[in-house]
A and B are shown apart, each in its own frame.
Chain A
Amino acid sequence: MTTTARPEVRSRMRHYITQRLIMKGDSSPLSDDDLLFTSGRLDSLDAVELIMSIETDYGINFSDIGFDLTRLDSISAIAGLVQQPSAEPV
């Protein structure tokens, strides 16, 4: 099982995503369940960066989840995905 506590993953992801949104001039509030890509707040450029970041940080191979971005569509969804037993922080 992963040793990363759920709140820490959430907090890291929230920080990371908030930073990207600010860079894009989006400073609206962001809750853990707000949709990131479906809503258009993050786009294809952000997707590439987020995927590589998650792949690097948690050793998740995006091809293993079928290149499915809807599974990374909120902070909660990302936190749930990276804490699956197969995902280990690297």
Chain B
Amino acid sequence: MTAHNLALHFEQVVASSPDAVALLCEGESFTFSELNGSANRLARWLMSQSVDRGAVVCLELPKIAEAYALAMACIKIGAPYAFLDPAAPAERARLMLERCRPALIVSVREGFGARAVIGDADARAALRDAVSRLDDSNLPQTALITGVDPAYVMFTSGSTGEPKGVVIPHQGVLHLIAWAKHDLGIGSGDRLTNVNPIYFDNSVFDIYAGLLNGAAIVALDALKGRPPAELVSEITKHQCTFFFAVPTLFMFLDSMHLLSPDWLPSVSRFMFGGEGFPLARLRRFYDAFAGKAKLINCYGPTETSCICSGFEIVESTFDTVEGLAPLGKLNPNFSYRILDDDMKPVPAGTAGELWLGGPGVALGYINNPQETARRFRQDPLIEGYRSILYRSGDLVEAEAGTGVLRFRGRADNQVKLRGYRVELEEIDHALVACKGVTRALAVVLHDAGGASRLLAAYAGAKMTESELRQHCAAHLPAYMVPNRFIWLEDIPVNANGKADRRSVASLLGEAVARAS
């Protein structure tokens, strides 16, 4: 079964198993045929709202059935969609919407721009009623969409103080689907959890590796405000076979004695990614499921269509007990180079920056040519023809012989907090925008168990923690709001006159210990 775009691939799956369950959401079950019919109607509705091939649609929605159907509708007309957090601070949402310049925003909240609001049951029913009169057959123009048409836009933190929208082509996701089928064995009969937030990169895997391989996906709310045992019971009730989440969630469930075959008997594969999984914490997880379920560590910047490598955890993984689980070998169709600061290949067995190429790499950042030019560059070792590599900023080392990559740190100030990618400069910018703050620097302190704590130092007028927290919460998502704010007479600088994040981290570590 081959198709040159995601929509045709989806329609082939629908044709081969129309009555199989595709989506379980909000207590309802939808077959592939039903989901496809909804998507076709919504595609025609989108076109009636002036959405056409290449136009961007922003979906500011929680995990409701319409969210999944609208994503499929967008790929059918070649209109890239961007899922946005419906709870994001208004200011951050504005920045993302302005970058997207969407033809239409479908949202649960009011706001600016051409917008369809489906915030309550009545509004949802009205939309359902409006589209029910439309044709539910496949659209002829779907065949015209190519592999390099953009499929979706995924926002991630930006070092300039503004989130960046990564544009991923259809072909990138087609490779992800093929990898999931061949390497992870995902197919009809599987049920994938969609615990990852829908506006978070990891959910791309849940949706596409699931639906487009004929598997069902189960929309599950993250833990917010409800007992963790309920989430685990729901996964078991729905007989999920594949559970993908960030290590923070698995470590949390483990700490609550909920990560065991007794609680999760139906899961045959666990996958984690988005941040490193400390081997010291992984051992217990591995032992608990030995012989009963596979554990896979995956790696991939948002710019590589969600995932570019995977590594199955085996007994020998624990020959080294320090550090993080290996990233694994790159998936077929990704090329890579490991380069030093002078863009020369590093000798075998030494760490360098990972540059990634191939059809799975993003087209760039939406309406942001400067950032695109900075991160997507001509392969320095190739002259004479175009060969673009994405500069990941991740420092890695390739194991001699096997090609297995190991993470060795970052070349810049990007950190991972609970799986979310955070450019510390974005927090610096948000703090400096607070009246009275003259300079600010965010830092992350790590503990031996792999936990990370976000702190901020600032100079200027002294303010209460609560004032600063409120200011940050109005500009940044919750996971980017520092836990503590510490006033310093001035921010230390290094020999080049640049703010010295390392010495600030050491100062803050001492200040927190003193204040406790």
Contact of A69 among B223, B224, B230, B256 (CB under 8 A): B256
Complex Cα–Cα for A24 and B222 (A)? 14
Asked whether, in the complex, the Cβ of B451 is within 8 Å of the Cβ of A51, the reply is yes
Interface size class of B (residues with CB under 8 A): 35 or more
B479 touches A45 (CB 8 A): yes
B374 at the interface (CB under 8 A from A): no
State whether the Cβ of B1 lies closer than 8 Å to any Cβ in chain A: no
Q: Report whether A48 and B451 are in contact in the complex, using a CB–CB cutoff of 8 Å.
A: yes
Q: Is A41 an interface residue (CB 8 A)?
A: yes
Taking CB atoms and an 8 Å cut-off, the chain B residues in 246-280 that contact chain A are 248-249, 251-252, 254-257, 280
| A44 / chain B contacts, CB cutoff of 8 Å | 223, 248-249, 251-252, 418
Residues of chain A within 8 A (CB-CB) of B251 are: 44, 67
B494: A residues at CB distance < 8 A: none
Q: Closest Cβ of chain A: how far from B169's Cβ, in Å?
A: 33
Query: A17-56 vs B: 1/0 string, CB under 8 Å?
Result: 0000001101000000000011111011101110111011
Q: Which residue from chain B places its CB closest to the CB of A71 in the assembled complex?
A: B255
Q: Do the beta carbons of A45 and B254 come within 8 Å of each other? A: no
A62 to B251, CA, bound (A): 12
Cβ–Cβ contact B449 & A62, under 8 A: yes
**Given known contacts A62-B449, A63-B449, A90-B513, A70 and B256 CB-to-CB distance under 8 angstroms:** yes
Contacts A48-B418, A49-B483, A63-B448 given; indicate if A43 touches B453 (C-beta within 8 A): no
Binding site for A on B (CB under 8 A): 222-230, 248-249, 251-252, 254-257, 280-281, 284, 418, 445, 447-449, 451-453, 469, 473, 478-479, 483, 512-513, 516
* Candidates A47, A56, A62, A68; contact of B513 at CB < 8 Å: A56
Q: Which residue of A lies closest to B248 (CB)?
A: A44
| Contacts of A40-90 to chain B: CB distance below 8 A | 40-41, 43-45, 47-49, 51-53, 55-57, 61-63, 67-70, 89-90
B280 → chain A closest CB, angstroms: 7
9 closest residue pairs by CB, A with B: A69-B255, A44-B252, A57-B516, A40-B227, A40-B226, A43-B223, A48-B451, A52-B453, A67-B255
Report yes or no: A67 in contact with B249, Cβ–Cβ below 8 A. no
Q: Are B228 and A67 within 8 A (Cβ)?
A: no
A40 with B230: CB separation less than 8 A: yes
Q: Provide the main secondary structure of the chain A interface.
A: helix
**By the criterion CB–CB under 8 Å, are B252 and A43 in contact?**
yes
Q: Which B residues are CB-close (under 8 A) to A23? A: 469, 473
**Which residues in A have their C-beta under 8 angstroms from that of B418?**
44-45, 48
In the complex, which residues of chain B have a beta carbon less than 8 angstroms from the beta carbon of A53? 516
User: Closest Cβ of chain B: how far from A59's Cβ, in Å?
Assistant: 10
Residues of A within 8 A of B512 (CB): 56
Q: Specify which chain B residues have a CB less than 8 angstroms from the CB of A56 in the assembled complex.
A: 512-513, 516
Name the distance in Å between A53's Cβ and chain B's nearest Cβ. Answer: 8
CA distance A88 to B151 in the complex (A): 55
> A24 CA to B227 CA in the complex, in Å?
15
Closest to A55 in B: B447
Q: Which residues from chain B contact A43 at a C-beta distance below 8 Å? A: 222-225, 228, 252
Q: Which residue of B lies closest to A57 (CB)?
A: B516
Known: A56-B516, A63-B280, A67-B254. A51 touches B449 (CB 8 A): yes
| Complex contact B447–A37 (CB within 8 A) | no
Among A48, A63, A90, the residue within 8 A (CB) of B248 is A48
- Cα–Cα, bound, A89→B514 (Å): 11
> How far in angstroms is the closest Cβ of chain A from B284?
7
Q: List 8 A-B contacts (CB under 8 A).
A: A24-B225, A38-B228, A43-B252, A45-B478, A53-B516, A67-B255, A67-B284, A90-B513
B469 proximity list for chain A (CB < 8 A): 23
Contacts of A47 in B (CB 8 A): 252, 255
Contact B255 A52 (CB under 8 A): no
Task: Say which residue of B223, B447, B479 sits within 8 Å of A52 (CB atoms).
Answer: B447
Give the residue name and chain of the A residue nearest to B231 (CB).
Answer: A40
- Contact between B230 and A70 (Cβ–Cβ < 8 Å)? no
A20 CB to closest chain B CB (Å) equals: 9
CA distance A56 to B284 in the complex (A): 24
Is the CB–CB distance between B449 and A67 below 8 Å? yes
Asked whether, in the complex, the Cβ of A38 is within 8 Å of the Cβ of B255, the reply is no
By the criterion CB–CB under 8 Å, are B280 and A40 in contact? no
Considering only CB atoms, which chain A residue lies closest to B451 in the complex? A48
- The distance from the CB of A5 to the nearest CB of chain B, in whole angstroms, is 16
Find chain A residues with CB under 8 A from B229 CB: 38
Instruction: Please report the C-alpha to C-alpha distance between residue A89 and residue B513 in the assembled complex, in whole angstroms.
Output: 10
Closest to A45 in B: B418
- The interface residues of chain B lying within 8 Å CB-to-CB of A39 are 227
Instruction: Establish whether residues A68 and B255, one from each chain, have CB atoms under 8 Å apart when the complex forms.
Output: yes
Q: What residues of chain A lie closer than 8 Å to B513, measured between beta carbons? A: 56, 90
Q: How far is the CA of A44 from the CA of B180 in the complex (A)?
A: 28
Contacts of A63 in B (CB 8 A): 280, 448-449
Report chain A residues within 8 Å CB of B230. 40
Q: Which of chain A's residues have a CB closer than 8 A to the CB of B252?
A: 43-44, 47, 69
Minimal beta-carbon separation of B84 from chain A (angstroms): 20
Q: How far does the alpha carbon of A13 sit from the alpha carbon of B379 in the complex, in Å?
A: 54
B310 to chain A, nearest CB (A): 23
Q: How far is the CA of A49 from the CA of B479 in the complex (A)?
A: 11
Shortest distance from the beta carbon of B102 to any chain A beta carbon, whole Å: 29
- Which of B225, B445, B452 contacts A41, CB < 8 Å? B225
